[in-house]
Structure formats: structure tokens, C-alpha cells
Amino acid sequence: MSALANCLSLVALAVLTTAPAAVADELTITHRPGPIHPGHVVRLVVSAPPAVSSITAAWQEREIAFQRTPDGAWDALVGIDVADAPGPRNVVLSARQTDGVVLTATHTLTVESKAFRTRRIKVDPKFVTPPASAIPRIQQEAEALNALFRVASSERFWTADAVRPVEGVAVSGFGVRTILNGQAGSPHNGLDLAAPTGTPIYAPAPGVVSYARDFYYSGNTVILNHGQGLYSTMAHLSVMDVREGDQVTKGALLGKVGATGRVTGAHLHWGVRLHGARVDPLSLLETLLTPSP
């Protein structure tokens, strides 16, 4: 083969291998301005050409699916875990067009440090140093929960008008460092809302009941899958009024406030997971209720 033919073949190969992807000048990515701290929920909004048929993002070693909104934009939620260190985090987008071309873009979120307060509480010693007989149960429950929170269903159930499950006073905020019976525990990964035993608990947003069972640490617990990697955990219930597999609407009765599991008194522990990240329920509500940037 001549040198000219060799050169033409290489040019053709380069065209074939690079045509499916393009750098996206047409993709505009925004998020609400302001500081981003551990525990925050961030809503990403993407403006893309009409030919784009799907958008995904690589975030913290996970794939995040975007959904087209009524105004023609695309949006998704990402979470900053309570234990995340400060620094930049890249969101790498891939937008596929109907002709097969993939547009790519990168957006950076900068996480700032935050100091959380410390609380000291006393609980039943078995919840700090569990007996040997309870260890297999604790391990099985931890594995089941970790597996659940890794699943991100393609369907979105959550809506922007989410509400608190209980209108109680917050007695322990998100991220608080806890000393249990003198021993350091993990950061508080939810919001504790004080309310009398028997107070109704309602679904903060539509979803499917993933778990409704008794767990060693959280007692009677209802976990809702709100879709696309978003989960709500309602813990320490006295009564559970739903069953696993139930589809619930926002405001549906889930159960009643109690004091089961590791507690110091009656309250609702409301935890939120977003693509596995432990995030502040109040940040979720604020983000959902804030208009698009």
C-alpha cells in the first residue's frame, strides 16, 4: 500500500472513531448558588439541544439519570455525604442525541467544610456493646440496607412539593456527632422530630415501601423508595401501617411515633439517602421547594 493510501486510511479511521462523541458547547449546567456543605442536596439543571434524548452523569462512582422537565430542561438530584471532605467534586455529563452523537460536559461542585456540634446521650448498653447473639442479626441488617441504598430505580416518584412526615420539634439535627454512653459514635444521619407516642407519621413524598420491619438499632422502621436513588427512613415507630411493596402517595399514613430500638424517648428519626449519600432531610425539602436556578 502506498504512503498516500496509508494516510487516507488513518484519516478515515480517525473520523469513524471520533464521530459519536462531541464536546458540548450546547450543554449548559447550573445549580443553585451558595455554599455547599456535607449533607446538602444539590439540584442540577441542564439546558440541552432538542435532539438530546437522554442524559446521565458520572457522580461519586455512580451513574445519575436526568429527567426532562415540563419546561424542556433536564434535572437530577445529587447528594453530599455527611462525612465527605471539603474540596471540588466533578459531575461528568453525557447527553445522547437521537442521531447517536454523545455530547459531554463537566460541572464542578465545591464542598466547603462545616463544623457539627457534639451531643452526649445514654442508652441501653446493649445498643452500644451488643451481645454476641445479636451480631449476626446486626450484620445481616446492615448488608440488606447497604444493598438497598445502592439501587437507583429508573422511575421518579418524588415530587417537588415534599413535606415533613411529622410536624414535631427537631430535638437532634443532622450531622451531630454523638457520644453514646461515653463512646464516640458515627455522625447523626437524620433528623429527630419529637412527638408523643402514637402521633401519625405521613409519607413526605410518593414512593414504594421497601422495608417495613423491626431492625435492631432503629426498631420498627419504614423505608420508602422515592425513585432515582432517593430513600426516606422512618425509624423507632410504635406501629407500622404499611407493608413492603405498598405504593404510597404523599401524605399517606405510614405508622405512628414510638420509642423502639436505640432511643432515649419517643420521637421520629427521619433519615434520607440519595444515591447512597447520607443527606439532611431539611436540605432535601429546601432544594425541592426552591425554583430552578
Retrieve residue 155's grid coordinates.
422511575
Q: Do both 199 and 252 map to the same domain?
A: yes
36 domain residue, yes or no: yes
The DSSP bridge partners found for residue 267 are 194, 258
Q: Is residue 12 part of a domain?
A: no
**Mean pLDDT within 222-226:** 98
Which of these three, 81, 111, 141, is where a domain ends? 111
Taking 70 as the threshold, does the pLDDT of residue 153 lie above it? yes
Top-confidence range, 165-169, 173-177, 202-206: 202-206
Return the C-alpha cell found at 247.
Answer: 405504593
59 found inside a domain: yes
| Of the residues 111, 139, 169, the one at which a domain ends | 111
186: pLDDT strictly greater than 80: no
Provide the pLDDT for residue 196.
95
Supply the pLDDT for residue 290.
83
Report how far residue 224's alpha carbon sits from residue 203's, in angstroms, rounded to the nearest whole number: 8
- The CATH code of the domain that includes 105 is 2.60.40.2470
The CA R_g of the chain, rounded to the nearest whole Å, is 23
Q: Based on the fold, state whether residues 201 and 281 are members of the same structural domain.
A: yes
Residue 3 is assigned to a structural domain of this protein: no
Per residue in 62-111, pLDDT tens?
999 999 999 899 999 999 999 999 999 999 999 999 999 999 999 999 99
Q: Are residues 226 and 209 in contact, defined by beta-carbon separation less than 8 angstroms?
A: no
Q: Are residues 100 and 157 in the same domain?
A: no
Amino acid letter, residue 204: P
How large a percentage of the chain has pLDDT more than 70?
90
Are residues 126 and 204 part of one domain?
Answer: yes
Domain boundary among 111, 140, 164: 111
DSSP per-residue string spanning 18-74: HTTEEE-TT-EEEE--S-B-TT-EEEEEEE--TTEEEEEEEETTEEEE-EE-TTS-E
Residue 2: pLDDT over 70: no
Q: Is the pLDDT of residue 15 over 60?
A: no
Domain extent, residue 56, equals: 19-111
Same domain, 32 and 157: no
Query: Are residues 122 and 105 both part of a single domain?
Result: no
For residue 120, give every residue at least 6 positions away whose Cβ sits within 8 Å of its Cβ, in sequence order, or none. Answer: 178, 179, 182
In a domain, 196, yes or no: yes
- The CA distance from 186 to 197, in Å, is 26
Q: Residue 1: inside a domain, yes or no?
A: no
Specify whether 258 is located in the same domain as 203: yes
Query: Are residues 75 and 141 located together in one domain of the fold?
Result: no
Tell me how far CA of residue 2 lies from CA of 9, 210, 246, in angstroms.
Answer: 11, 66, 70
What's the CATH code of the domain at 237?
2.70.70.10
Average pLDDT in the 224-239 region? 98
What average pLDDT does this structure show over 246-252?
98
Whether 4 maps to a domain, the answer reads no
The pLDDT of residue 8: 35
Question: Which class for 26: exposed (0-12), middle (13-18), buried (19 or more C-beta within 10 A)?
Answer: middle
116 near 177, Cβ under 8 Å? yes
Same domain, 107 and 239: no
| 273 belongs to a structural domain | yes
Q: How confident is the model at residue 184 (pLDDT cuts 50, 70, 90)?
A: confident
pLDDT tens digits, one per residue of 115-132? 887 777 777 778 778 999
Are 131 and 261 contained in the same domain?
A: yes
* Better pLDDT: 281 or 16: 281
**Domain identity same for 95 and 148:** no
Total Cβ atoms within 10 A of residue 229: 26
Instruction: Mark whether 102 and 129 lie in a shared domain.
Output: no
When divided into structural domains, the chain yields a total of 2
